[in-house]
Structure 1
């Protein structure tokens, strides 16, 4: 039986092997498909795809229907963006460009009720449309929402030990794409980017925090699993579509013309 999406945070914190993908297309269908084949989570990409709040809300509903955890990579880690995703029922958030302790603390505060500053409402999906009372909703939300900082700026490396140690921050996502561009590197496999990613992973391991990273395939995941990563994003809905379409086009190109 597939674990309930609500258990995502507990599984993430426990270091379970988790498989996810980015959702770039603002419709529910890809999420239903990925959930249906057993992906543990999807990440709705508000930062780099054409999502608004209504489409995020719809895709989060599809995630629930297909029994996969729906996370949101917010366009920017402001309290308003984070609150919108969480009120709509996201199992967690990826906060981009967390490059300082102060930013990490601000993100955590915006996502937590107790000890934080999350704006309260139990009337949206997250509160069961009023089903949960005030403190039942507070406790359920604080227990289930995963707060993940994206470490993707070189300057974050100077404070990485302190960033990952921030109380209430559940884990980190290593953004090798942004690190590649910022460092002027050749790609994610460039020694400089790999060294940065290993530094982040080591800091997270010391702090007892899990690591999520985007990989090309299971073979690369095995490499990073050995270094301490446990949650893996493999491609996106658009990437899967393109790969399958290209494979089919290539196969048909090999057929005789007549």
Structure 2
């Protein structure tokens, strides 16, 4: 038996997120299965396949989600846009859930929640895809399972969202908030993602999430960077990316050789 094993059932990701368990994941930006397999085998709770900022088509996403299943990690997808078609595509491929960019209003939040749910929503049905076990399960049994397990995370990254944050948090079908510090930095014209306006926005979002009982996810580069966000209530952390891990390890190796 390999020494590297996954720690939890990916089907329980939504439950664990709601329970505020500390969850650790990473962005996947290279269109291969290997990084997902490695991180899953190491025991990462989830990966986020980045269809917004990486060169990934549906075929690549499909294979990467298969790798997530094979390695026992929850496979989420950051879709390219907050559209029903983008959400349906990755959920049919077997995604555990979606990170949806630029959710700046309660209307958008309701729309993406509806796109991801069957009962009470508007998700298009097919029983022939991976998520439905290629027709092996019954229609309603699959629908109940999908609605119970599918995770919808709204990305808060626009200045307009800050004024609407309580209304966004009140949307029942939104499971969690992701704080997009990079886009907020640009939107607020701040010097960096640690500047005062961004920090104030982070605190504002976290306070709204606490009032609504919604989990918070944030991207960090290391565990030491996560501590202040955890103090504000964040419980899910996206640590760097496959590219970031590769660059860091390669830089360390090169430095070791050039300074030896």
Smaller-chain TM-score bracket: over 0.9
Hey, what does 2:54 align to over in structure 1? 49
Q: Secondary structure at the match of 1:128?
A: helix
TM-aligned CA deviation for residue 80 of structure 1? 0.6
Q: What is the aligned-residue RMSD (CA, Å)?
A: 0.7
1:161 corresponds to which residue? 166
1:76 aligns with 2:81: yes
Shift of residue 186, structure 1, vs aligned partner: 1.3
Structure 1: 5+ residue stretches without partners: none
TM-score using structure 1 length: 0.98
Structure 1 residue 183: deviation in Å?
1.0
User: Which residue of the partner structure matches residue 59 of structure 1?
Assistant: 64
Gaps of 5+ in 2: 1-5
Say whether 1:131 aligns with 2:136: yes
Partner of 1:87: 92
Residue in 2 that maps onto 1:147 = 152
User: Of 2, 11, 26, which aligns to 2:7?
Assistant: 2
User: How big is each residue's C-alpha offset from its partner over 1:207-246, in whole Å with a ceiling of 9 and x where there is no partner?
Assistant: 0110000012111211111110000001000000000000
| Equivalent in 105, 125, 130 of residue 110 of structure 2 | 105
Establish whether residue 218 from structure 1 lines up as the match of residue 211 from structure 2.
Answer: no
Deviations 1:117-143 (A, max 9, x none): 000012101001111111111100000
- Corresponding position: 1:178 with 2:183: yes
Compute the TM-score of the two structures, normalised by the length of structure 2. Answer: 0.97
- Residues 1:233 and 2:225 aligned together: no
Please list every run of at least 4 consecutive aligned residues from structure 1 whose deviation after the TM superposition is greater than 3 angstroms. none
2:171 alignment partner, SS class: coil
1:213 partner SS: strand
Name which of 102, 119, 127 aligns with 2:124. Answer: 119
Per the alignment, residue 200 of structure 1 pairs with 205
